[in-house]
Amino acid sequence: MLIVYLLAVILLAEKFAIPLDNSIEQFGMPQAFGGAIIAALVLAPEGIGAIEAALRNQLQRSVNILLGSVLATIGLTVPAVLTVSLITNRSVILGVQGGNLPLLLLTLAVSVVTFTSGKTNVLQGCIHLLLFAVFLLLIFSP
Amino acid sequence: MLAPMSEKTEGNLNAKRSQGFLSAVRAEFALLISLGTAAILIAIGNRLLEDVTHPLLLLIILFWLFATILWSAISVVRHADCLAIKFGEPYGTLILTLSAISIEVMMISTAMLHGANNPTLGRDAMFAVVMIALGGLVGLSLLLGGLRYREQHYNLQGVNSYLNVIMALAVLGLVLPTFTTSTRGPTFSTEQEIFLVVVSVSLFAIFTGSTLWNPRMLRLSRPRHIINCKYAPLLITL
C-alpha cells in the first residue's frame, strides 16, 4: 500500500507542475510563489505532525520532525536535483539571490541561537514567525 | 521471520474480514481518488493541463490536484507509521524518512524539469522548504507550545547535530553558487556539482548512521498519530 501510494503521489506530482506553471503565468503571480506552493505541499504532513507534537508538550519530537525535513531537503533533494541536471545536461540555478540571501543566513543563525538554550518560550516562536513573514513579503515584493 | 508473523495476522484478519472490508475501503479512499485522477489525466493526456483559455478551469484543476496530492501524502505518512510500529527501531525511522524524502525529491525534480518557463522553480521550492520549516513551522510550534506550557525543554545534542549539518549544507548548496566564479550566474560548474552531490549524500548518510547508532538522538521513535494498524498484514501495508 505504501508503495502504491508513493507511486500515486509521484504520478500526480508530475502532472501538478504543468497547471501550476500555467496558473502563475496566467494570473501574473511572482515565480517564487510556485516554489512556495510546492514547499507547502511537501511539508504539510510533517508540519501537521510537528504542531500536534508541540501541543502535546513533545517539543523534542516536533523539532526533530521539522529539522529532519529541512535536512532531507538540503542533504538529499539538492544532490537529486544536481544529478538530474547532470544527466539531462541542463544547468540548474541553485544560488539564492537578492534579499533572500541575507534572510536565509539570518534564519540559520537565529535557529542556532534558539536551539542552543535547550529550552524555549513564546519569544523565540515570535522571532521565527517574523522571519517567515519577511519570507512571504519578499515573495510578493522582492 | 516474516512468514509466521503474516500467518498470524492473516488469522486475525479472517476473523475481522466481514466488518473490516468496508472500513478498509473507507480508509484507503484517498488511494481510489488519487489513482482515479492519475488515470484520467493519463488517458486525456496533457491537453487538459495545458489548456490556459479558461482561467477558472485551470484553478479548479490546480486545487483538485493540490488536495489529492496532500491527501495521498498524509496517507503515505500513516502507512509509514504503521510499518514503523511493525518493524521497530531503527528501521521504522528509516522507512518514515525515506518515504517522506522520496515524495519531496520527486516533487521538486519534476517541477524543475517541467517548469520550462520558470528555471528557478526547483531552487525556489527548496529555499521555501527551509523558510517555511525553520521560520513558519518552528515558530508556530514554539509559540503554541509556549502558550500552553510556558517553557519547553528538549535534548540539546540531537538538535545541535541537525543544525550543524543543515547549516553546512544549506550554505554550500544554496549560497555558494551565487559567489562562485567558474560559471556566470548562480550556478555550479560540472566538477563543483559532482563534488557537492558526493559530499551531501555522504554527510547525510553519516548523519543517519549516527542517529541510528546513538539512541539518544533517535528521531521519530513514537508514531505521530494514534493509528489502528493492528490487523493489516505486513505485505499489504508495505
Which of residues 52 through 81 in chain B touch A, CB cutoff 8 A? 52, 55, 58-59, 61-62, 65-66, 68-70, 72-77, 79-80
| Cis before B90? omega within 30 | yes
**Is residue A119 classed as helix, strand or coil in its secondary structure?**
strand
Task: Write b or e for each residue in B19-57: b if 16 or more Cβ atoms lie within 10 A of its Cβ, otherwise e.
Answer: ebeeebeebbebbebbbebbeebeeeeeebbeeeeeeee
Q: What is the pLDDT of residues A49-98, one digit of tens each?
A: 788 878 888 787 788 878 888 888 888 888 888 888 888 777 778 888 88
- SS3 call for A120: strand
Q: Nearest Cβ partner of A9 from B73, B160, B169?
A: B73
CB-CB contact of A15 with B109 (8 Å):
no
**pLDDT tens sequence across B94-143:** 676 677 777 777 777 777 776 566 677 788 888 999 999 999 999 998 89
B101: contact with A, CB 8 A cutoff: yes
Interface of B with A in 112-151 (CB under 8 A): 112-151
Does residue A123 register a pLDDT over 80?
yes
pLDDT band at B26 (very low <50, low <70, confident <90, very high): low
Residue A3 CA: distances (Å) to CA of A116, B100, B102: 38, 12, 11
What proportion of chain A, given as a percentage, has pLDDT over 90? Answer: 17
pTM of structure: 0.80
CB contact under 8 A, B121 and A34: yes
Going from the C-alpha of B84 to that of each of B8, B77, B221, the distances in angstroms are: 19, 10, 9
- How sure is the predictor about B62, in pLDDT bands with cuts at 50, 70 and 90? confident
pLDDT confidence tier of residue B221, bands split at 50, 70 and 90: very low
| pLDDT given at position A128 | 93
Residues B182-194: pLDDT tens digits? Answer: 877 788 888 888 9
Of A67, A94, A124, the CB nearest to B177: A94
How far apart are alpha carbons A96 and B140 in whole angstroms?
25
Report the range out of A127-136, B113-122, B157-166, B175-184 with the highest average pLDDT: A127-136
| Among B201, B1, B219, CA closest to B92 | B219
Contact B238 A21 (CB under 8 A): no
Structure confidence at residue B215 (pLDDT): 56
State the DSSP string of B118-161.
-TTHHHHHHHHHHHIIIIIIHHHHHHHHHHHHSSEE--HHHHHH
Q: What is the mean pLDDT of chain B?
A: 73
Cβ contact, residue pair A127, B177, below 8 Å: no
Is the pLDDT assigned to residue B66 strictly greater than 70? yes
Q: What is the pLDDT of residues B82-92, one digit of tens each?
A: 776 777 655 66
